Every structure is written in C-alpha cells, then in structure tokens.
Amino acid sequence: MSIEEDSINLTRVGPGTVMGEFMRQYWIPCAMSSELEVDGDPMRLPLMGEKLLAFRDSSGKVGIMDHRCPHRCASLFLGRNEEGGLRCVYHGWKFDAEGKCIDMPSVPDGENVRQKIHSKAYKVHERNGLIWVYMGKDQDNPPPLPDIEVTLLPEEELSIHFVYRDCNWLQALEGDIDTAHFGFLHAGTVNAEDLPEDHIYYPTVIDRAPKYEVNDTPWGTSYGAYRKLPNGEMYWRTANFMFPFWTQNPAGIFEKAVHARAWVPIDDERMMFINVYWKEALKREARPKKNGEFLDEGYRLTNNYVPNTTDWYGRWRLREVESNDWMIDRDAQRSGVNYTGMENIHLQDHAITESMGAITDHAFEHLTQADLMIARTRRRILRAALAYRDNGTPPPGTEDPEVFLQSRGGFFTADVEKSWQDAYDENMKTVLRPAAKALAD
C-alpha cells in the first residue's frame, strides 16, 4: 500500500472505513456517568463519525442512539425525557433506552405499528464513573469490557478528566508514546544541575536523546526508553499503546502507576481525550524544583475549561485554542522562564498536536530512530485492522480482555546488564494491584 492509502485507513473512523469498523468491535468510553441525570436533558454525543444522543431514563438506565427520530428525522435532542423514555416533540413518538418505540400517540393504529419501529441504538455499560458504548453491528453479542486495570477501580478512587481536541485521534495518541519530546516540550528550560539526582525529571534532562527498544505485545505495542545514570544504573521509561486507542505513559513510578488514557475519535478531525488515574498514584511532586522551590511556570497541573455548551462539540473544551494561539506567552518563551510559553503540560501537548492540522500529512513527515514506537504502532494497528477486514481475525483483546492487565507504563531503574524485558517482568511481580479485589469478584 502507499503512504496515502495507509494514512487514510489509519485515520478515518466513520462507518464502513477500515479503522471505523475495527474500533467498533471494542467498547468505547464516551462520557462520565455524572454528565447524565435521571430524566435530565438529553446530551448530544458525536462519536466515531456518527451524531448520537445520550440520556438517562427514569430508572437510571443510559440510552445512546442516533439523534434522528426514525419517523421524520427530527432531532431527539429537542425531545422530552420523561417516564422511562425519550419522546419526540414533533409527533409524540417515544423511545426507551434500547431504542424500542414504546408509544405512538399520533398514529391511529399506533399500538401495533410501534412494534415495527426501532431507533438505531447501541449497547451501553456503566462502570466506575464511565459510560461505555458498543457500536459494532452485532449488538446481540458484544465482547467483554477490557480489563484495563484503572477502569476496574471504584469511582471514588479515580481522577477522571475529559478534554476535547481539534485534531485526528491518531496524532493526539502518538504524542503520548513519544518520549523524546519530554526533554524539550515539557522540560526544555530545566537544567540537570538544578535538580537532585533522585528527582523524577533528572534522568530526562541529563540525556535528552534516549535510546529505544520497542516490542509488539498482546495488548498492542510497548517501548522502553533507556538512559544510563551517573550511579551506573539504567533508567527505563516504559509506555504502552493498547488497542484500540488507549495509552499508558511513562510519567509515574512504575510500582503504583495505575492509569490509562483513551484517545476517542469524535470524527476524522476531532477527538476526546480521557485521562483515568488512580488518585493514590498522583500523590507525588510532579513539578521540578530549583534550590528547593517549585518551578511553577510550565507546570500547572490543571486545565482551563470554558463552560460546556449543548452544541455538538461543546463538551470539555479548553480556553486555549488555535484562534488565540493557545495563549502562548512569547515573553516567557524568549526569557527562558518557560520553554514553550505555555504554562500547562497537557496544554503543551494539546497545542502541538492541534497545530499539525486536522489530520497529519504523513507523506510530509520524516520519521527517525526516535520515532520507532510511532512507526511500529502504526504498523501494528494497521495490520490488525486489515486482518479483521480481510480475514475476520478477532481484534486483539476482544476475546481475551485480561491481556490488558499485563501492561503498565512508568519508570524504574535496573542493573545496567539487565535487559528491558527482564527488568519489566521483574518489576511487574511487585507492582501494586489496587484492582485485585475487583478482579477476584
């Protein structure tokens, strides 16, 4: 295949596309449970190139369906969420959370006719603060939800954040599996001499060009980026891509780095970032210090949201957007106070991937050895998607969801003679498993 054809197959997600059909074989996280109230307002939910609607009925059950009423295509967003269903205000047709028409008061023989009408609706599952939807064609036989460890924890133990992003899902995800950018985009003005040797940033600024090892894995792909420390040990930063759009980054202490991030396509040119983190793992000093003082510029940990609106792309938007240049501070950038001129780590990634355009022009790129994980991940995704299309090969993890429990991202040190895989396997034997009870149950 050509670069152009591969790029199209990887980035397009609508119905009938290679990636769109592949991703629809997985459960897709799409909203927080807290976004929908019992008998509350229906919510526009664009997803995978489809314009859907989500609502919570009188019993608390969530329904996700095409926003168009199957009668005359009026939007059910204008409907009344009442008494166990969503009623179209045009002619009064009413649908339950599974898409079944349960009332047709404007039709003389409505009681009999309604049984033949069904809105296009999808299977829904709620787990620990997240709403998941299965958009595959075989709605009667969805796969099990993935055993991504952090999503198995009780909601009260989790930090969950959504952020809308104006770009294709793949280029956004690839920023999370590109460790070489860390020493520049996030820590470009941090000097090794300003940090104690045990600081979490220290290894990334003493060597800003790490070497890599990359493997295909049952859950997707994994990399180990390594640097030799002054004390003679090897410092490893390990991260994962997990099918179909999940990552685990290397920023946490490996022992307790229970986290995952989803890069969920809204359509070809928009996506929703979902960050799910075990709160206990967040209890660390995430900002570097100089002479004992925090370096605050560039290390704000919170996002600046604008209020949600009800339009199609009105959820979880940041204040900083392309039209205001992501509020870059050129004076801070020039003075060296802040390498990028953007004060938030997430915003730095956000702006970079949006600046690439709606969909990255892969033919314009020049990948290097430092991009090995990105190249390998694209190949892994594309081969799996084409194997599903051409041979019906089950997408990885849909039949064996427990494979995701073998993956973890984070950093650790090891004897310089020990291989990455041996060091990884050894560390996996002693990691904290806060979801062990959920798995046992």
Domain ranges of the chain: 27-142, 152-440
**Residue range 190-210: average pLDDT?**
74
pLDDT at 288 over 90: no
Question: What is the predicted pLDDT for the residue at 251?
Answer: 85
pLDDT at 211 over 90: no
125 within 8 A of 145, measured Cβ to Cβ: yes
**Residue range 261-267: average pLDDT?**
98
Nearest to 389 by CA among 15, 7, 22: 22
- Mean pLDDT, the chain, as a whole number? 92
- pLDDT interval class at 179 (50, 70, 90): confident
Nearest to 184 by CA among 342, 294, 291, 420: 342
- pLDDT interval class at 357 (50, 70, 90): very high
**Residue range 330-343: average pLDDT?**
88
68 within 8 A of 77, measured Cβ to Cβ: no
Please state, for a pLDDT cut of 70, what percent of the chain lies above it.
95
pLDDT at 96 over 80: yes
What does the DSSP 8-state code read for residue 105?
T
Question: What is the predicted pLDDT for the residue at 424?
Answer: 96
pLDDT at 52 over 90: yes
Point out the least confidently predicted range of 66-75, 78-87, 297-306: 297-306
**Residue range 313-339: average pLDDT?**
93
Round to whole Å and give the CA distance between 144 and 127: 12
Span 233-255, pLDDT tens digits: 999 999 999 999 999 999 888 99
Q: Which comes out higher in pLDDT, residue 75 or 291?
A: 75
Span 139-155, pLDDT tens digits: 999 999 999 999 999 99
Question: What is the predicted pLDDT for the residue at 286?
Answer: 47
The two structure tokens encoding residue 41: 């307002």
Q: How many residues does the chain have?
A: 441
Q: Which comes out higher in pLDDT, residue 436 or 203?
A: 436
Round to whole Å and give the CA distance between 124 and 134: 6
Pairing of strands 43-47, 293-294: unpaired
Question: What is the predicted pLDDT for the residue at 293?
Answer: 56
Q: Which comes out higher in pLDDT, residue 432 or 183?
A: 432
184 within 8 A of 441, measured Cβ to Cβ: no
Span 385-428, pLDDT tens digits: 999 999 999 999 999 999 999 999 999 999 999 999 999 999 99
Question: What is the predicted pLDDT for the residue at 295?
Answer: 54
Peptide bond into 210 cis (omega under 30): no
**Residue range 42-54: average pLDDT?**
98
* Longest CA span, the chain: 84
pLDDT at 177 over 80: yes
> What is the CATH class of 27-142?
mainly beta
pLDDT at 55 over 50: yes
Question: What is the predicted pLDDT for the residue at 182?
Answer: 80
- pLDDT interval class at 299 (50, 70, 90): low
Nearest 5°: CA angle at 373, between 26 and 345? 85
**Residue range 118-147: average pLDDT?**
97
Round to whole Å and give the CA distance between 33 and 238: 31
As a whole number of Å, the end-to-end CA separation of the chain is 46
